[in-house]
Amino acid sequence: MIRKIFITGGAGFIGGALIDRLLKEKNNYIFNLDKLGKESNFFRIKNFSQNNNYKLFHFDLLEKEKVFDAIASTQPDLIIHLAAESHVDRSLVEPRSFIESNIIGTLNLLEAAKVYWEKLPNNKKKEFKFHHVSTDEVYGSLGKTGKFDENTKYSPRSPYSASKASSDHLVSSWFHSFSLPILITNCSNNYGPFQYHEKFIPNSIQKALNGDQIPLYGDGNNVRDWIYIEDHIDALLLVADKGNIGNQYCIGSNNERKNIDVLLQICRLMDIYSPKNYPHEKLIKYVTDRPGHDKRYAIDSNKVKSELGWKPKHSFDDGLEITVQWYIKNQSLWEK
Active site residue 136: yes
Q: For CA atoms 267, 269, 273, 275, give the dihedral sign.
A: positive
Q: DSSP string of 183-226?
A: EEEEE-EEE-TT--TTSHHHHHHHHHHHT--EEEETTS--EEEE
Distance CA 139, CA 126 (A): 31
Give the DSSP H or E segment for 48: helix 42-48
Instruction: Give the number of other CB atoms < 10 A from CB of residue 253.
Output: 25
Q: With contact defined as beta carbons under 8 Å apart, do 206 and 263 qualify? A: no
Considering just the CA atoms, what is the radius of gyration of the chain in Å? 20
Per the CB < 8 A criterion, the answer to whether 85 and 37 are in contact is no
* Side chain identity, residue 55: K
Which of the residues 34, 77, 137, 234 is marked catalytic? 137
63 included as an active-site residue: no
Catalytic residue, chosen from 139, 160, 228, 249, is 160
Distance separating alpha carbons of residues 81 and 251, to the nearest angstrom: 16
Cα angle 96-63-41, degrees, rounded to a multiple of 5: 75
Choose the catalytic residue: 34, 39, 60, 136.
136
User: 137 an active-site residue?
Assistant: yes
Give the DSSP per-residue string, 161-193.
Answer: HHHHHHHHHHHHHHHHHH---EEEEEE-EEE-T
Least Cα distance to 113 among 53, 29, 164, 170 occurs for 170
Catalytic residue IDs: 136-137, 160
